[in-house]
Amino acid sequence: MKVVTGIGGWPSAVAAQAQKAEADGYDIATCGELSHDSIVTMTVAATATEKIDLQTSVTIAFPRSPMVLAMEAWDIHQLSGGRFTLGLGSQVKGHNERRFGGTWSPPAPRMREYIQMIRGVWDTWQDGKPAEFLGKEYTYTLMTPNFNPGPLDVGRPKIGLAMVGPVMAKVSGEVADVVMPHGGIMSDKYMREVLLPSVREGLVKTGRTWDDIEISESGYLVVGEDDSEIEQKALAMRRALSFYGSTRTYHKVLNLHGLDELGQKLHALSLQGKWQEMHDTVQLDDILELGQTCTYDKLPEFMAEHREYASRMGMAMPRETPEQEERFQDVLKQVQSVEGSGVPRGLEI
């Protein structure tokens, strides 16, 4: 199991964060893309580290052309010595149109083409194949020597794809290297009943198997020292759930758990800008309905039993004292030693 930690914020702080993540023993450093550019973050991290893998989680795709991201990922992969994964996400219609000033069209077929074009560009650069991708959204038919950086001696970057719904999950099974279920609002039930079957459908459609992809662990998981700490951590998740639950894109997860009314109320409050009321609306029982709980001592066992499909996960523990640091390192190594099958139970191919 690869263990993931996040880095980000102002670029001036990224190098130290990335170096610390590497020194702490994490396998992968990821960054989001909220108020800072993920490509800049990963470029800084690549220059500051030597062995930790780097992944954007996520880079927003549609405001950028596939050619632009193909070039940026190629350069970061070379700079890092082959440690970079380009994790893509679509964002929602409102942000694409009103924040990025871009366009919107059905995201799943568009993302399929987006990734196919990136791979087509890389086929030209790495193997000399002609520029001949013709899609409904994207076209790639020109590559002259001046614009061709040439092949990499570290192989190609991996491409990850984030998803919330079954259609994008199917696309991930068709074209992605890393399947990235949205961690902000997810449950194990939704993963197993909706997303993973759709990933399987995509794999079968393209003649691939579970061996061709990596899957990030997902599903609300609250980990603590004891029941009291678990409850406090669950309560701390109310703000995140209120944010994601206010967007209709994520209501399919809530609906599966009978939390339809919660989603509707959060959406209505968001339209009124009542952010604190949104937070207060989410109750502990709502978090526990969506999530699972586990103590640190049982985490390796939990991952082996309940996340058999996953090959990567995030993990955080208190590390303020030498004793806590020693404990963190012990649990970290135990989790890293977990070997899942990579195949979701009941979804064999």
Quick check: 209 pLDDT over 90?
A: yes
* Total count of domains within the chain: 1
pLDDT interval class at 283 (50, 70, 90): very high
Q: What is the CATH number of the domain that holds 312?
A: 3.20.20.30
Q: Is position 345 within any domain?
A: no
Q: What secondary structure letter does DSSP report for 153? A: T
Structure-token match 């961690």, residue found: 183
Angle, alpha carbons 10-244-164 (nearest 5°): 100
Compute the half-sphere exposure of residue 159: CA atoms within 13 Å on the CB side of its CA: 27
Count of other CB atoms within 10 angstroms of residue 239: 14
Q: Is position 249 within any domain?
A: no
Predicted confidence at residue 273, as pLDDT, reads: 95
Q: What secondary structure letter does DSSP report for 346? A: T
pLDDT interval class at 82 (50, 70, 90): very high
Determine the 3-state secondary structure of 300 from DSSP. helix
Going through the chain in order, the beta strands assigned E by DSSP cover: 2-6, 28-31, 53-56, 59-60, 84-89, 133-134, 139-140, 158-163, 178-181, 214-215, 221-224, 292-295, 312-314
For residue range 32-67, what is the model confidence (pLDDT) as tens digits?
999 999 999 999 999 999 999 999 999 999 999 999
What are the Cα distances from residue 186, in Å, to 87, 163, 165, 182, 295?
18, 10, 11, 7, 20
Predicted confidence at residue 299, as pLDDT, reads: 97
Q: Is position 259 within any domain?
A: no
Determine the 3-state secondary structure of 134 from DSSP. strand
Count of other CB atoms within 10 angstroms of residue 330: 11
Give the pairing type, strands 214-215 and 139-140: unpaired
Q: Is position 348 within any domain?
A: no
Count of other CB atoms within 10 angstroms of residue 233: 17
Over residues 74-90, mean pLDDT: 98
Quick check: 184 pLDDT over 80?
A: no
Q: Cα-atom radius of gyration of the chain, to the nearest Å? A: 20
**Tokens representing 96?**
């694409």
Going through 99-212 in order, the beta strands assigned E by DSSP cover: 133-134, 139-140, 158-163, 178-181
Predicted confidence at residue 43, as pLDDT, reads: 98
Most confident by average pLDDT, 17-21, 184-188, 246-250: 17-21
Quick check: 213 pLDDT over 80?
A: yes
Q: Is position 42 within any domain?
A: yes
Predicted confidence at residue 100, as pLDDT, reads: 97
Confirm whether pTM is higher than 0.85: yes
Lowest mean pLDDT among 59-73, 164-178, 244-258, 264-278: 244-258
Beta bridge partners of 50: none
Mean pLDDT across the chain: 96
Q: Is position 199 within any domain?
A: yes
pLDDT interval class at 109 (50, 70, 90): very high
For residue range 135-179, what is the model confidence (pLDDT) as tens digits?
999 999 999 999 999 999 999 999 999 999 999 999 999 999 999
Predicted confidence at residue 183, as pLDDT, reads: 76
- Between 44 and 92, where is the model more confident? 44
**Tokens representing 203?**
């794999």
For residue range 308-330, what is the model confidence (pLDDT) as tens digits?
999 999 998 999 999 999 999 99
Q: Which domain holds residue 119?
A: 2-224+294-336
Count of other CB atoms within 10 angstroms of residue 192: 17
Q: Is position 254 within any domain?
A: no
- Quote the distance between the C-alpha of residue 194 and its chain's center: 17
Predicted confidence at residue 185, as pLDDT, reads: 78
Contact (CB, 8 A) for 33 and 9: no
Over residues 194-222, mean pLDDT: 96
Predicted confidence at residue 25, as pLDDT, reads: 97
pLDDT interval class at 249 (50, 70, 90): confident
- CA-CA distance, 126 to 316, in Å (whole number)? 38
Q: Is position 137 within any domain?
A: yes
